[in-house]
Structure formats: structure tokens, C-alpha cells
Amino acid sequence: MNEKIIIFLFLIPILSFYILVWLYPLLLVVLQSFGIPALTTRAEGEYPTLTYYVTFFSTRYLDYLWFSFWNSLVAVLLALVIGYFTALIAFIYEFKGKRVFNMISKIPLFVPYLIAAFMWWLLLTPRGYVYDLLLHLGLINEQVKLANDPLGIGIIFANVWMHIPYVMLISIGTLKVINPELIEAARVLGANMRRTIRYVFIPLSIPGILASLQLVFISMFGGFSVAYILGASFPNYLSVRIFEDAAVLYKWSFASVGAVIYLVTSLVITYFYSKITRWGW
């Protein structure tokens, strides 16, 4: 039997699985976004239309999308800086309690997003520990809201805390493959630790940093639990608006448009990310 046919026969189960659980539902969502009933019964005189897309781009739906983007971007940059330099310190220096530190830093990996969202909601609401600490230090006043606020501060807090361990794990893996001879050469040539970090560790860690940036950003950008618990009624993440349209208002076509826009935006971001990594590294 032809080798290609044999390979195709082996791939049939996995291809069938992806078609049934991913491609087919996605097709239904796309059809629904054009007003072709995939989840409801077709009404008489109902035909494919761009009305829902026109409404999306001419109303405040774009505010939800923009809020999702910039809020996730701020959170991922904070998680990236904190996670990378924490991993760098743990990689370079030996200190007492390092093993305990490594264990504690991984705790967010084992906390479900919904539980973490409720935890940060309790910490950031008035009389919460974090809120009271910031209030006592004079960093905020009583008029400032850290949870369910229009700036999404609570969402940023929770997302950063939950995703720092992911950045750390990827960064540690990247740091471990750096040739020790390069580090030693930098020290021999007179570079102190600050310059070694700047000119050796960071440049050689760029692939890991970019991988962390993409994975963590997509996770935050498409997240729901944290934004739903800690976000304001408006603006909020587009995922929350999709949920409200589908589960509360039963506007399936509007929800489907939001889902398609979410998917397309994620694909565009991934495309440019791949271009950047291909050009530079």
C-alpha cells in the first residue's frame, strides 16, 4: 500500500476529532455571526447579513475589544518584567531558602482562575488586606477602587499574579541553555553583574521572553473568569460581553460576532509575533 495512504489512515482519527470538536463548532459560530441560524430556528425571510458586524464596529463593542487589548498588554508586560528578573535572580544567585522560594513561586499554577479571581476580589475590595495596606502607605485614597473599577486595576493584579510563574518557568528554561563560557568570558573581560545581565543574559533570553509574551498575552486576552469577577460593568473584556449576549440576552448572533472578532484578533497578533521572531531571531 502507498506510504502516503497509510499515513493518512493513521491520521483519520485525530483529524476526525479536530473536525468534530473544533472546526465544526467554529463553522457554526461563523455562520451564526452572519445571521445564519446555527443555534436557533431560522425565521421566515431571514437571510445572511452583515448587520451584526456593522453594529459591532459602529457601537461600543469596540470599546470592549480595546479594553481587552490594552489591559492584557499592561498585565503581560508587568508579568514579563517581574517574572523574568525573578527567574534571573533565582538562576544566578544561591541563597538560603531558595528551594522553598521556588516552591512558593509556583503556587499560582495550581490555583484555578476562578478561585484566584475571588481571592483577589477579597484582597482588593475596601477592608481587604492589599487595599488597606496601600491605603495605609498613602499610595491610594478612599475614593480609589481597585476591584470592579473602570481601569481594570483588579484584573491586572490578578492576571500578573497568576501568570508570573509561567514567565519564570519559560525564562529559567531559556537561561539554562545559555553557554556558561559566554558568562565567564564577560566576567573575565571586566563586566560586572549588571553589565553581564544587560549584554549577555537579556539578549540571549529574547526567544524565551517573546514566547512568554505571546503565550501569556493570549491567555489573558481571551480570559473570562478574572475579568468577570474583578471587572467593571463597563468597560470590560469582550469575553464578558460575549457571555452576556449569549447567556443573558440570548443575542446569539452578536455573541458569535464577538467570538469571531476575538479569534481573528488573536490570529493577527500571533501572525505579527511570528514575523517579529522570524526577522529578529
Confidence at residue 155, expressed as pLDDT on a 0 to 100 scale: 95
Q: What is the mean pLDDT of the chain?
A: 86
DSSP assigned state of 231: B
Q: Which of 113-122, 144-153, 178-187 has the lowest mean pLDDT?
A: 178-187
Phi, psi of 107 (to 5 degrees): -55, -45
pLDDT band at 45 (very low <50, low <70, confident <90, very high): very low
Between the alpha carbon of residue 244 and those of residues 114, 155, 209, 249, the distances in Å are 17, 18, 35, 6
Decide if pLDDT at 39 tops 60.
Answer: no
**How many Å separate Cα 172 from the centre of its chain?**
20
The dihedral over CA atoms of 267, 271, 272, 273, expressed in degrees to the nearest 10, equals 90
Asked if residue 243 and residue 140 are part of one domain, the reply reads: yes
Name the nearest CA neighbour of 38 among 53, 47, 25: 25
For residue 12, is it within any domain? yes
Confidence at residue 279, expressed as pLDDT on a 0 to 100 scale: 62
Give the contacts of 95 (CB within 8 A, at least 6 positions apart). 101
Asked if residue 209 and residue 131 are part of one domain, the reply reads: yes
List, for residues 86-102, the tens digit of each pLDDT value. Answer: 999 888 888 888 888 88
Last residue within a domain, chosen from 12, 28, 49: 49
Asked if residue 105 and residue 7 are part of one domain, the reply reads: no
Tally of CA atoms within 13 A in the half-sphere of 111 that contains its CB: 23
Give, to the nearest 10 degrees, the angle between helix 252-280 and helix 61-92: 40
Total structural domains within the chain = 2
Q: How large is the average pLDDT for residues 155-176? A: 93
Q: How large is the average pLDDT for residues 30-34? A: 86
Give the contacts of 86 (CB within 8 A, at least 6 positions apart). 105, 164, 168
For residue 224, is it within any domain? yes
List, for residues 120-134, the tens digit of each pLDDT value. Answer: 999 999 888 888 888
Confidence at residue 118, expressed as pLDDT on a 0 to 100 scale: 93
Asked if residue 65 and residue 45 are part of one domain, the reply reads: no
Q: Are 91 and 265 in contact (CB under 8 A)?
A: no
Asked if residue 22 and residue 128 are part of one domain, the reply reads: no
For residue 54, is it within any domain? no
What percent of the chain stands above pLDDT 90? Answer: 34
Asked if residue 231 and residue 209 are part of one domain, the reply reads: yes
CATH code (residue 98) = 1.10.3720.10
Q: How large is the average pLDDT for residues 240-252? A: 90
Range of the domain at 2: 1-49
Asked if residue 189 and residue 115 are part of one domain, the reply reads: yes
Confidence at residue 280, expressed as pLDDT on a 0 to 100 scale: 53
Asked if residue 161 and residue 111 are part of one domain, the reply reads: yes
Asked if residue 240 and residue 138 are part of one domain, the reply reads: yes
pLDDT band at 44 (very low <50, low <70, confident <90, very high): very low
Asked if residue 227 and residue 150 are part of one domain, the reply reads: yes
Asked if residue 136 and residue 204 are part of one domain, the reply reads: yes
For residue 251, is it within any domain? yes
Name the nearest CA neighbour of 60 among 271, 270, 275, 245: 245
Which residue in the block uniquely carries the three cell numbers 512568554? 212
pTM for this predicted structure: 0.86
Give the contacts of 84 (CB within 8 A, at least 6 positions apart). 167, 168, 171, 205, 209, 212
Asked if residue 273 and residue 190 are part of one domain, the reply reads: yes
For residue 14, is it within any domain? yes
Query: Computed from CA positions of residues 233, 235, 239, 243, in that sequence, does the dihedral angle turn out positive or negative?
Result: positive
For residue 182, is it within any domain? yes
For residue 274, is it within any domain? yes
pLDDT band at 228 (very low <50, low <70, confident <90, very high): very high
For residue 55, is it within any domain? no
Whole-number Å distance between alpha carbons of 196 and 202: 9
